[in-house]
Structures are given as C-alpha cells and as structure tokens.
Amino acid sequence: MRLDDIDVVSGAAYLDGPPHEQFSYLREHAPVFHQQVPDPELVDEVWVLTRAAEVRQVSEDPDTFSSKPNVALRARQTDAGLRAAAGNFINQDDPQHRRLRSMVAKAFTPRVVATFTEHYRALTADVIAKALPQGEFDFVTEVAAELPLLAICELLGAPISDRSRIFRWTNAILGSDDPEYGGGLEEAGRAIAELGRYALELADAKRAAPGDDIVSALATAPPGQRLSDPEYEGFILLLLLAGNETTRNNISHGIVALTGHPEQLTTLRADPERLNATVEEITRWASPVNFMSRTATRDTELGGQRIRVGDRVAMFYSSANRDPAMFPGGEVFDIGHRYDRHLAFGIGRHFCLGAHLARVETRAVLAELMATTDDIRVTGPVIRQQSSFLNGIKHLPVAVTPRTE
C-alpha cells in the first residue's frame, strides 16, 4: 500500500464497509494525512485524522477547530440545504450551539430517557412480533428502522403514520450519494425543503393543540425564547436525521456483528447481564457515523503536521475506535471488551445529544430478540450505503427461528 493510493473520503470507498486496511496503514504511517479528494461532490482536500489522540485533541479544542460552516465535507449545497445547515446546532459553535442545544437537552438526559425503557421495549416487542412470523425478512426495513422512527415521532409529537415519509426524506438527504436512496444533490434539496415545510406545519398544529412533546415546547415558547424559522427547521432536521438514521444503522450493525461472531452471540444468550457491554461494543466496533469535520480557525500543529487557518480536518471515528493505542485488540469484535470511553458518540461539547436514547433503543431490540428467538442468521449479502459520512446498511436479509418454549 502507498499513501498515493489512499482514499478514505470518497463514498465509493465504503461500498464494502469502512476501509479499515487503509485506516490501519494511516494510523501507523500518516495519522494526520492530507488527502486530495477525487469525489466531485465533496471538498477538494482535507486532513484525515485516524488516531484517537488527534480525534480527541480536535474535539476538545472548539476554539481552534470550528464546526462552521458544516461538519460534513459536502462541496455544494442547495438553497434549502444551506438554510437548514445554518439553523442546525451541530454546525454551530458556542454560544449559539449551547443556546440551541439547551432548548431540548433536558428531553435527552439519562434520567429522562430511562423512563422510556419499558415503553420502548413494548414498542420493540410489537415490531418484532410482526416480523417473526415471516421467517425470513429484511431486518433493516422490518425491525431496525421501525423502532427509531416510532421513538422520534413520539418525542417530536409527529403522527406515527408519517414515519414512512420521514424514512424517505432522511434517506434522500443522508443518502444523496447512493443511487437507491437518493437522486443526488437536487433530490436531497427537495427532501430538505419538504421536510422543512412539514416541520413548520407540525409547529402550527401544535400551537393550536399543544401536547407533551418537543415540537409543542418549541412552538409555544415565549416570543423572546422562540427559535427563528431557519433555526427551528434545522433543529427538527437534525433530530430526525440523528434520531433515525444513526440508531437504525447501529441496530443493524449489531446483528451483523453478532451473527458474524456466533460465539459472541452464544455468550450473550447465556449471560443477558452482558447486554449493556454488548451495546457499547457494537457501537464502538460499528461507528455508525464515520466522521465529523472541523475547520481550523488559526494556524496550528496537529500530529506533527502544520494546519493552516481555513483547512478542513476530518475525525474518522471508524478508525479512532480501533486505534490500538486506546483500544487494545480493537480490530476484534468482543463483547468482553470494556471500552466505555469509545468515540462513536463524539466527545466534548458536541457529544451526541441522543446517545442515551440510542443505547436504550439498541438494547431494547437485542433484548427482545434474545427473548423471542432461538436463532437468527444472515441469509444474503449485506447491502451497504454508498457514503463516507455514514456507515450505513440498507438491506440485511435474515432468517429467524422463533422461540417455542
């Protein structure tokens, strides 16, 4: 392998999953690597960070490494995309980031999310009960996508019947590079615009008949505390994307990991107390978000490389979470690992707001599958999303043997 041949940024490099062989080579030979990007939809060049040390350094220094203008590496944006990105707190620095995040943070605390545990287990039981009689089915569409969609609709106060539309919109937005999910940038722009209009209509409905949900709280806030329309649209877009796509992929990767390592699945079935550790290991090993980017606000040094003001740096969690310096044996999926400080949810001020919710949902699906099946196996090719941003799974054919006792 040569550095000249490395490409870990283009979407096509992820058709068979994250390029872990290239990540391993970069961690050893060029942990802060300046890549020219051949993908015309992305930025021309970026510094690729593959070790945990540099990922942590950038995450914990938002004054030097800004989340503006956006955390993706998209070179072009539609007007709708620019409007949504500007109002999305994931693309903001403090104090704007802190102001927007604090408006819903209390809905995602561990204490609050813990109150959802039994409810989500009941939702999961219903979802899985509908899938099991089929014997063989697509785990992504029948199970992994359903619980996150149901959960985020309830949290926002959106009608459950709208989840198919939300599924289609979010696929088009985050899957714009994938021929099945999206039709390119223009289709993604249309989906963002449609979702924005939907969010505004939902706010109008909640002002007329408020409920106990996030949109009602935002829509009925006092005038001085109310979000602007672009902020509100960007906010709802973020919650729908992050609350749906990433957890769906985490759950799907869990099945791929456990069925691909049957001895681990046997261990989990024999010892359900390992469930929490299993969820953490799945999330570390899979890293559903491959990277987040930052922009240097001043000249600095990173891993021995000179970073100039305006340079983009990309923190590759998929690589950092397997860095042997922080995670010995991290290339191996093992539910005996105790890597609770993995980086899949980010670190620092931008730590994932929905991390606790993602854990609860992933745990609910695994627990219900352990309780209701004697066997689950993958029966065909795992179809992955063409994206360097998300480590996504589109289709996962499985066969299950329901528990008969």
Which contacts (CB < 8 Å, 24+ apart) does range 203-207 have?
A: 203/232, 206/157
Confidence of residue 405 (pLDDT cuts 50, 70, 90): low
Nearest to 49 by CA among 29, 73, 33: 33
Residue 404: predicted pLDDT: 80
Q: How far apart are CA 150 and CA 133, in angstroms?
A: 21
Alpha-carbon span 41 to 3, nearest angstrom:
22
Here the CATH number for the domain that contains residue 154 is 1.10.630.10
How much is the pTM? 0.94
The predicted structure's pLDDT at residue 323: 97
Instruction: Give the pLDDT of residue 183.
Output: 67
Strand partners, 138: 397
Question: pLDDT digit string (tens) for 10-48?
Answer: 988 998 999 999 999 999 999 999 999 998 888 999 999
Q: Which two tokens stand for residue 246?
A: 């990433």
295-312 mean pLDDT: 97
The position carrying tokens 């989906």 is 191
* 140/251 Cα distance (integer angstroms): 9
Number of domains in the chain: 1
Q: 271 to each of 95, 268, 277, 336, 370, how far by Cα in Å?
A: 45, 5, 11, 11, 10
- Confidence grade of residue 185 (pLDDT, cut at 50, 70, 90): confident
d(CA 151, CA 160): 9
Q: Following CA atoms 120, 126, 128, 131 in sequence, which dihedral angle do they give, to the nearest 10 degrees?
A: -150
pLDDT-derived band of residue 82, with 50, 70 and 90 as boundaries? confident
Residue with tokens 């999310």: 113
| Domain span holding position 239 | 3-402
Please give the average per-residue pLDDT across 310-315, as a whole number.
98
pLDDT digit string, tens, across residues 91-120: 999 999 998 898 888 888 888 888 888 889
- Look at residue 108 in the predicted model and tell me its pLDDT: 86
Distance CA 405, CA 134 (A): 19
Residue 35, helix vs strand vs coil? strand
